[in-house]
């Protein structure tokens, strides 16, 4: 019995069960009649899909958020986004520190598993940083947005503040919910709206361990950790590279950014590049994009944001590490190195495992959705990668996928938020230690 309890209480299982509990609680609240504008209870599938999308900070929706959900429902969504962005274990750890000033070993281990911190001793520093960074980023974003809504659009102060807070939470947590049916398309010409939203998404997508390093050594890049250097470098490369590729592809497309002035086309390209990192909002009509732009977006969404961040995807460090492995193999080097540091073999195996399991998840999800929906490969693949990468962008077919399609996307969002490795570790019944090694022999490769 004790061994069974120990297995259930392993950090990976606790994280998975905590997220599942949050999803089910959120679905229960959204299924209440008070949660909808019309006062009619939402269907269980709709409530479950929306709650999962909020807790897993994805942003895919089967209903127009503002038109379907009441203020109560929208507040529930905002709370679920904040919980999902913080992380269940991180949030509970913050509350424990506030209430008692202490954090037990089990809580440290659970939070370590969720936040990807290096060890139990790093957890307190990370969770305090989470609270500070989140508070500052969301307050600044909400303030700028609220002022703009009042000054530029004549909104009443109360409504402007509500809009500002909702979208500050939505962007910093990389959730991607919006209170307008066209997301942010009506603001495509307004840099005072688009730029703060982009900055909030990037800030949330860097990962809290990066902020811990920058706080101590922001003037001395030479002392930055390898993780920080890779995260910042890859983020910059993907943001600018993605913006260049999207802008070039959509430059003359009159259905997206072709009718915008040149400067605003560039801003729209950056906005889309940023949002594919897991932000999920759109300032141009994603459904009218060129198929090449969808493929570029698929790649960016699959890679995602930084580790231990509010963003999704396989993470930029995983992608970079695979690149270092390939480079070392091509050069015939015995060790995989980056920044004059040797990468442990265990991390190489983890990166390969995450990448292959993620490819498998996307492939299976795409095949299943193509079997149960009438849509073609390009659109289905985009929806699947968006759900698995917890991005929330859509080609416009999410609402038309039916119950089976929505359940498949729900599973993909959940798996994508927790990660295939975390979920696999939680489901494993035993962790065995082998006391012997087999003789070495390798098959031909390539």
* Structural domain harbouring 280: 9-426
Distance CA 312, CA 268 (A): 22
Q: What's phi and psi for 36, nearest 5 deg?
A: -110, 155
Ranges of beta strands (E only) in 358-406 are none
Chain centroid to Cα 340, Å, comes to: 30
Whether the CB-CB separation of 393 and 386 falls below 8 Å is answered with yes
Query: Is 1 a member of any domain?
Result: no
Query: Is 44 a member of any domain?
Result: yes
* pTM metric for this prediction: 0.89
Query: Is 436 a member of any domain?
Result: no
Query: Is 3 a member of any domain?
Result: no
Query: Is 47 a member of any domain?
Result: yes
What pLDDT was estimated at residue 425? 58
Nearest to 118 by CA among 208, 216, 202: 208
What pLDDT was estimated at residue 224? 86
Strand partners, 341: 338
Query: Is 162 a member of any domain?
Result: yes
Distance CA 208, CA 130 (A): 6
Please classify residue 307 by burial: count the beta carbons closer than 10 Å to its beta carbon, then call 0-12 exposed, 13-18 middle and 19+ buried.
buried
What pLDDT was estimated at residue 244? 97
Buried b (16+ CB within 10 A) or exposed e, 203-219: bbbbbbbbbbbbeeeee
Helices (H), 57-104: 65-68, 71-86, 88-100
Give DSSP secondary structure letters for 201-240.
HHHHHS-HHHHHHHHHHTT-GGGS-HHHHHHHHHHHHHHH
Apex 411 CA angle, 66 and 309, nearest 5: 75
Q: Is 69 helix (H, G, I), strand (E, B) or coil?
A: strand
Query: Is 284 a member of any domain?
Result: yes
pLDDT of the chain along its 446 residues, tens only? 444 434 444 666 777 788 899 999 999 999 999 999 988 889 999 999 999 999 998 999 999 999 999 999 999 999 999 988 876 545 544 444 444 445 454 545 445 554 555 454 455 666 667 778 888 999 999 999 999 999 999 999 999 999 999 999 999 999 999 999 999 999 999 999 999 999 999 998 888 778 878 878 888 888 888 888 999 999 999 999 999 999 999 999 999 999 999 999 999 999 999 999 889 999 999 999 999 999 999 999 999 988 877 788 899 999 999 999 999 999 989 889 988 889 888 888 888 888 999 999 999 999 999 999 999 999 999 999 999 999 999 999 999 999 999 999 999 999 988 877 665 555 554 555 667 778 877 787 77
Q: How many domains does the chain have?
A: 1
Q: What's phi and psi for 444, nearest 5 deg?
A: -70, 140
Encoded tokens for 341 = 């540091």
Sole residue written with tokens 């990389």: 174
What pLDDT was estimated at residue 1? 41
Distance CA 334, CA 353 (A): 21
Query: Is 288 a member of any domain?
Result: yes
């Amino acid at each position: 019995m004790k061994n069974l309890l120990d297995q259930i209480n392993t950090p990976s299982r606790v994280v998975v069960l905590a997220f599942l509990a949050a999803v089910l609680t959120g679905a229960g609240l959204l299924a209440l009649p008070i949660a909808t504008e019309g006062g009619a209870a939402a269907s269980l599938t709709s409530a479950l899909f929306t709650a999962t999308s909020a807790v897993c900070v994805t942003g895919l929706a089967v209903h127009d958020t503002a038109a379907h959900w009441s203020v109560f429902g929208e507040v529930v969504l905002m709370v679920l986004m904040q919980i999902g962005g913080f992380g269940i274990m991180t949030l509970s750890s913050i509350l424990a520190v506030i209430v008692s000033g202490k954090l037990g070993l089990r809580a440290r281990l659970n939070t370590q598993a969720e936040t990807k911190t290096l060890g139990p001793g790093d957890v307190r520093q990370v969770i305090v940083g989470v609270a500070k960074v989140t508070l500052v980023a969301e307050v600044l974003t909400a303030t700028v947005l609220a002022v703009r809504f009042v000054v530029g659009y004549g909104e009443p102060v109360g409504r402007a503040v509500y809009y500002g807070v909702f979208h500050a939470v939505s962007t910093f947590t990389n959730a991607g919910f919006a209170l307008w049916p066209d997301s942010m398309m009506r603001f495509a010409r307004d840099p005072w709206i688009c730029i703060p939203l982009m900055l909030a998404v990037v800030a949330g997508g860097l990962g809290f361990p990066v902020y811990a390093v920058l706080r101590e050594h922001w003037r001395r890049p030479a002392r930055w950790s390898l993780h920080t250097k890779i995260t910042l470098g890859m983020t910059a490369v993907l943001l600018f590279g993605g913006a260049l590729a999207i802008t070039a592809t959509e430059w003359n497309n009159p259905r997206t950014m072709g009718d915008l002035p040149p400067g605003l086309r560039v801003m729209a390209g950056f906005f889309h590049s940023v949002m594919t990192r897991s932000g999920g909002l759109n300032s141009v009509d994603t459904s009218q994009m060129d198929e090449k732009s969808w493929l570029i977006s698929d790649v960016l969404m699959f890679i995602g944001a930084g580790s231990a961040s509010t963003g999704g995807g396989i993470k930029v460090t995983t992608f970079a590490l695979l690149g270092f492995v390939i480079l070392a193999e091509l050069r015939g080097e015995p060790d995989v190195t980056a920044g004059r540091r040797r990468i442990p073999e265990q991390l190489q195996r983890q990166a390969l495992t995450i990448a292959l399991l993620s490819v498998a998840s996307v492939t299976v999800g795409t095949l299943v959705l193509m079997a149960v929906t009438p849509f073609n490969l390009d659109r289905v693949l985009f929806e699947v990668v968006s759900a698995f990468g917890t991005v929330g962008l859509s080609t416009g077919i999410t609402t038309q996928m039916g119950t089976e399609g929505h359940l498949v996307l729900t599973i993909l969002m959940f798996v994508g938020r927790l990660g295939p490795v975390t979920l696999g570790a939680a489901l494993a019944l035993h962790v065995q230690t082998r006391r012997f090694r087999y003789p070495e022999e390798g098959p031909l490769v390539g």
